[in-house]
Amino acid sequence: MGLLSWLIVVPFITALAVIFTPARKTAWIKWISLVGTGFHLVLTAFTTWRFWQLAAPEAASMKTAQLMKLHLEERIPWFESLGIQYLLGVDGISMSMVILTSIIIFTGVLASWKVEERAKEFFALLLVLVTGVFGVFLSFDLFLFFMFYEVAVLPMYLLIGIWGTGPKEYSAMKLTLMLMMGSALLIVGFLGLYHVSGMNTFDLTKLAEATFPASFQKWAFPAIFIGFGVLGALYPFHTWSPDGHASAPTAVSMLHAGVLMKLGGYGALRVAVYLLPEGAKDWGLFFMVLTTINILYGSFGAITQKDLKYFTAYSSVSHCGFVLFGVAALNLMGMKGAVLQMFSHGVMTGLFFALIGMVYGRTHTRMIPEMGGLAKVMPWLAVCFYIGGMASLGLPGFSGFVAESHVFLGGFFGNPWTDATIMRTLTVIATMSIVVTAVYVLRGMAKVFLGPVTDPHFHALTDATLTERISTGVLVATLAVVGVMPFLLIDLIEASIMPIVNRLHASGVTVALH
Amino acid sequence: MEHELGFALRNAWLILAIPFFSFLVVGLFIRPRAPKLAGIVATLAVFASAGFAYALAVEYLSLGGHDGWKTIVPWSFEWLRFQEHLAVHIGVIVDPISVLLMVVVTTVSSLVHLYSLGYMHGEAGFGRYFTWLNLFTFSMLALVTAPNILQMYVAWELVGASSFCLIGYYFEKPSAVEASKKAFIVTRFADLGFLLGVLILGYFGYQIASEAGGSAQAFDFLFLTNPEVMGKFSALGAGLFGIPLLTLALLLVYMGGAGKSAMFPLHIWLPDAMEGPTPVSALIHAATMVVAGVYLVARLFPLFATSGDALLVVAYIGAFTSVFAAVIACTQDDIKRVLAYSTLSQLGYMMFALGVASFEHPLGYTASMFHLFTHAFFKALLFLGAGSVIHAVHSNEIWKMGGLKAKMPVTHATFAIATLAIAGIWPFAGFFSKDEILAAALGSGHTGIFTLGLMVAGLTAFYMSRIYFVTFWGKAKTEHASHAHESPWIMLIPLVILAVLSIGAGFVPFGEFVRFGAAHGEAHGINPMIAAAGTLAGVLGIGFAWLLYRDGLAERSGVIARALGGGYRLIRNKFYFDELYLFVTHKIIFRLVAAPIAWFDRHVVDGGVNLSGWSARVFGSAVSYLQTGQVQTYGSWFVGGAVLLLFSLWMLRA
């Protein structure tokens, strides 16, 4: 079994180990989960190193490549008559997403250290979920991809429905149904790709060699883009996200907002834009308009929220807008920015939900107006929250700035297929979010953490425990490392974005490179 | 390179590395365990930076500047690669203005660090304070040494963030929290303009750079201010609303500068920023960060001069701000707020000095930088002196002080020197730089601005003498003031050093070092006519204040205030700008934009989602009535359906 299979199997084995542990031994269950995910983190680091060895020498030649290059490929025929295979591989984009997921699940397990209710089922489902996520990022056969995708979405229903808070059944149902609607669009699009290509294969790398007729691309692109967009909180299909996040338990919110929503941007880039460049050119502007709405709408929506989780969820809607905005900009900087933003937002929002869980665990409220002056009693959590906030408003030195500057430049530079003036106008509108974000982040956090302690009970509260410090510390460090040394991540992903850009330019009318 | 560079220039990265690593080490490792040590390490690190900056300045000066000073970038590395010709190289640019700023920033910063060791003694957040102060020093140095506009933007945001942390240092005090938020959000709003300007410059710069080929990077200052490139920029023609693209881009960049330098109408954050500890006000909100806007315009001066119109906007906004703020300063009672408005006014001075400069009359450029240089010392001194007073009397209110002349002799003497310096009295530093600014305004034909400048000189002398007399002369007006003691020596040493600099800085042959273009023509000594006019304005201001306030009481001035009536109230309430902003943000943006969006999302968009769920349920339950379990009903439906189907098929065939 290859390295990549191990990346998928390790969480699954850990889940099995959890299942075979007696339910009352909750400490064992947590330690097993922690060791499993910790080992996964090490394995991810090793894989990254291996990948880097293989990919670095080729970075120069990728500048003109039309087809993506997979590394550490594993290819086993599965349903041969249908051309379905077990095809794993990794390129820079999936590598960065695997790193992200591995960090989030590790910190997520630490952040769930206080879960006592049905701990066994909780951790098992969490690990199954993350198995699906790794599967999605590593599989390059659309069928396998879709299968893992469903594996990732379904445990969510149970996790929210059982361990959630508030109107949890409603939220779980809404989330699952809306994502299923996206899946329905996806499966239609995938089957269309399969049939129209006439190649009897779901292999993404093979399908990229096919030329899809423009009439097909015209409807398949929006189907697939919206299908993924639902998961990426594309306006107006985002409303599952505030409810879902608000109801979900901490680790689930972390995984969901941190990783699962990234599947949307990932798929939109990888499948929709890469395979259907003509469709992308036709629909690019349409989706830029929608995502511009996303960006501003989410940030304005966040200003008046009272519940910290809704607050973060709307902020996510805005930040995920940047991902799809970058993808829809259809140029190198935009798409690179999209991937950077996926990584950055994943870590950032993981941090936010972890912190909200920790604060809620102490104050037993998530309502912003009921809190105040918490920095005095929980300085560690306050500092981490502020760092997350600063990263989210795009302060240089954290990953958010790297991503957003790419996306803004990408939008402003435009592409040869879209009206430059409209794109620039949209970009200018989108940039306004940096002010609105500063407003809601600073207002919200000042109310919660600064000023005098409003409730005398708060004086008895404690600061972060060791597990919480490790969990939040890792996330904060990740934000800072990417922000201070952005070249690490950029070198990793840039070469893998080039084929997508080059294909856009190669198909149809070729115009000067942007 | 013909010259072998010296140690400091070869290792120019140290200027950034020293405070950065000190920030990390102090913040992460020393602060939690030994706050006292954190303060000392942070201070030592900044002194080391200062020493390094001096070494660098000396080496740079020894390179000679007979045929104009060279701009060199001795160190840089690729930090952020957007795409070809759009990579950001973090580095250190060395030219006269960056060397000047490095020296000013490290000097004032190290003195403020030293002073803070005494001033912040016993505070709960001692270690935290020095961590942020170090971060600020690093960011500010990264700003002044930025060789490209994006590093400038990055550092720009970082100084904003460290300023935010320091204004909100007393985070349990609601007014400090409000002030820190306000400062951040107002400057962020201005930075939106900066960002858009960078996008425009980057986009067209990229077009020009990729045409030229080679390794040109569109964000580099050396690229942007290259004459050939500037020619191409000005040939771009009209952008929005018929404004030439270059002018548009520069005005947007200037918006960022105006925010940071608190130019009207973005000035509202600076007076509130006085909520921070006083040494912070001295360093950040008087001597260094707030001049970043001036520095930005100076950095891009060739582009501004090419545009022309953009520079005029700089000049008029600067001149207006300087008068506007000086008028308000005359009516404020909080010693730090008076100094804050005074800073606004002096920043306006620097801005309009740049604004009146041009390729033909570049004197304003020199004058502006000269004033930046001298102002840093005497304004920092004023703030630190005010800090010393506040430390002694536990109040910011000038009417709660009085009679401190004898009790605090060192503070009094240094404060008096700084007051004379800012009032522009010979031989203090302010006299020289102010004179040069007035000469530049008159020499370039901006008579109106010259007149305003002269008026501001008088007003400055007046309001500064006002707080000087009320604070130090007359009798102690409160219990605290009558028992005031001189501050400890660790706070007095910086005062004395700054006082020496406030006297000596004016005699530096500044025009030899900082000038625009190789021409010596205008760089001159003192113009007797202008010097006389400026001094007269200063003396009149001081004299008028002496008449009103020499006994430290408010009676005589109260008569004038009452006579002015509504006008006085308008000025005292700062022309109600804060209220206007509050109205726009809270009443309009929050209530009319944000709240409706949140409502729309919950009720309309989400309503649509719920509606689809509801309709599916209703449809399902409606259809469920068909399933009755009665075979007869099913059978009749089946037969009826079959007949209908056959009938329609038959119809179609026909």
| pLDDT tens-place string over residues A341-379 | 999 999 999 999 999 999 988 888 888 888 888 888 899
Residue-wise pLDDT for A229-254, tens only, equals 998 889 888 888 888 888 888 888 88
Q: Is the pLDDT of residue B550 over 90?
A: no
Look up the ipTM and state it: 0.92
pLDDT (tens digit per residue) in B163-182: 999 999 999 889 999 999 99
Rounded to the nearest angstrom, the minimum Cα separation between A71 and chain B is 24
Task: Evaluate if residue B643 carries a pLDDT over 60.
Answer: yes
A300 found inside a domain: yes
Report the alpha-carbon distance of residue A167 to residue A351 in Å, rounded.
Answer: 24
With cut-offs at 50, 70 and 90, classify the pLDDT of residue B520: low
> For A388-428, what is each residue's pLDDT tens digit?
999 999 999 999 999 999 999 999 998 888 888 899 999 99
Residue A510 falls inside a structural domain: no
Smallest CA–CA distance, residue B591 to chain A, in Å, is 9
**Residues paired with residue B91 on neighbouring β-strands, in sequence order:** B76
Q: Does some domain include residue A143?
A: yes
Secondary structure of residue B70 in the 3-state scheme: coil
Nearest neighbour of A438 by CB, restricted to B150, B185, B606: B185
CA dihedral over B411, B413, B414, B419, signed as positive or negative: positive
Average pLDDT for A44-55: 92
Residue B3: band (very low, low, confident or very high) from pLDDT cuts 50, 70, 90: low
Question: Cβ of A409 and B199 within 8 Å?
Answer: yes
**Over residues A160-186, mean pLDDT:** 87
Give a yes or no: residue A511 inside a domain.
Answer: no
Backbone angles phi, psi at B204, to 5 degrees: -75, -35
Q: What are the tens digits of pLDDT across the range B16-44? A: 999 999 999 998 898 888 888 999 999 99
What pLDDT is attached to residue A511? 40
* Chain A residues within 8 A of B617 when measuring between CB atoms: none
Beta bridge partners of A307: A367
Confidence band for A49, pLDDT divided at 50, 70 and 90: very high
Where in the sequence is the domain holding A108, given as residue range(s)?
3-58+67-504
Among candidates A300, A451, A453 on the partner chain, residue whose Cβ is nearest the Cβ of B174: A451
Task: Indicate whether B65 pLDDT > 80.
Answer: no
Closest approach of B48 to chain A, Cα-based (Å): 24
User: What does the pLDDT look like over B143-155, one tens digit per residue?
Assistant: 999 999 999 999 9
Lowest mean pLDDT among A280-284, A503-507, B344-348: A503-507
pLDDT at res. A158 = 87
pLDDT level of residue A514 (50, 70, 90 thresholds)? very low
Q: What is the pLDDT of residues B118-131, one digit of tens each?
A: 998 888 888 999 99
With respect to residue A363, please indicate whether it lies within any of the assigned structural domains: yes
Per-residue confidence (pLDDT) for residue A509, from 0 to 100: 45
Decide if A348 is inside a domain.
yes
Interface mutation target, options B177, B275, B585, B592, chain A, most CBs of A under 10 Å: B177
% of chain B beyond a pLDDT of 90 = 46
The pLDDT, as a whole number, for residue B525 is: 63
CA B581 to chain CA mean position, Å? 19
Across the interface, whether the CB atoms of B594 and A408 are under 8 A apart is answered no
Query: Percent of chain B scored above 70 by pLDDT?
Result: 97
Q: Which of residues B597 and A479 earns the better pLDDT score? A: A479
Backbone angles phi, psi at A69, to 5 degrees: -120, 120
Structure tokens at B148: 């490209």
- Tell me the percentage of chain A whose pLDDT exceeds 90: 48
Q: Residue B4: pLDDT above 80?
A: no
Quote the longest CA-to-CA distance of chain A: 70
* DSSP strand pairing (B87-94 vs B72-81): antiparallel
pLDDT for res A89 = 92
pLDDT of residue B492: 92
Q: Is the pLDDT of residue A462 over 80?
A: yes
Quick check: A393 and B80 CB within 8 A?
Answer: no
For residue A512, being part of any structural domain is answered with no
A502 Cα to chain B: minimum distance (Å): 14
* Cα–Cα distance for residue pair B405/A119, rounded to 1 Å: 72
Chain A positions touching B601 (Cβ under 8 A) are 239, 242, 297, 301
Would you call A300 and B597 a contact, using CB atoms and an 8 Å cutoff?
yes
If you average pLDDT over every residue of chain B, what do you get? 88
pLDDT band at B322; cut points 50, 70, 90: very high
Asked if pLDDT for residue A510 goes beyond 70, the answer is no
Between A and B, how many residue pairs show a Cβ–Cβ distance under 8 A?
122
Phi and psi torsions of B619, nearest 5°: -60, -45
- Facing A239 at nearest CB: one of B86, B171, B605: B605
Residue A244 lies in a domain: yes
Beta strand B72-81 with A84-90 is unpaired
| Closest CB from A301, A390, A406 relative to B161 | A390
- Residue of A318, A390, A301 whose CA lies nearest to A351: A390
**Residue for token pair 């968009």:** B605
Whether residue A506 has pLDDT greater than 90 = no
Number of domains present in the structure of chain A:
1
Q: What is the pLDDT of residue B518?
A: 56
Please indicate whether, in this complex, the C-beta atoms of B78 and A487 are within 8 angstroms of each other: yes
State the average pLDDT over residues B537-564: 85
In the structure encoding, which two tokens stand for residue B147, read together?
């060789």
CB A16 within 8 A of CB A53: no
- Is the preceding omega at residue A236 within 30 degrees of 0, hence cis? yes
Classified as helix, coil or strand, A316 is: helix
- Which tokens hold the place of A397? 């030195």
pLDDT at residue A508, rounded to an integer: 52
Range in A206-210, B449-453, B582-586 the model is least confident about = B582-586
Least confident of A3-7, A460-464, B66-70: B66-70
Question: Which pLDDT does position B523 carry in this prediction?
Answer: 52
The secondary structure of B235-284 as a DSSP string is TT-B-GGG-BHHHHHHHHHHHHHHHHTT-TTSTTHHHHGGGS-HHHHHII
Mean pLDDT of B510-534: 73
> Is any Cβ of chain B less than 8 angstroms from the Cβ of A406?
yes
Q: Compute the average pLDDT of residues A55-71.
A: 85
The answer, for A402 touching chain B at a CB cutoff of 8 Å, is yes
Query: Which of B220, B270, B230, B265 has its CA nearest to residue B250?
Result: B230
Cα A445-A448-A453 angle, rounded to 5 deg = 140
Q: Tell me, what's the pLDDT at B474?
A: 83
Assess whether pLDDT exceeds 80 at residue B240.
Answer: no
**In what helix (H) or strand (E) does residue B81 lie, and over which residues does it extend?**
strand B72-81
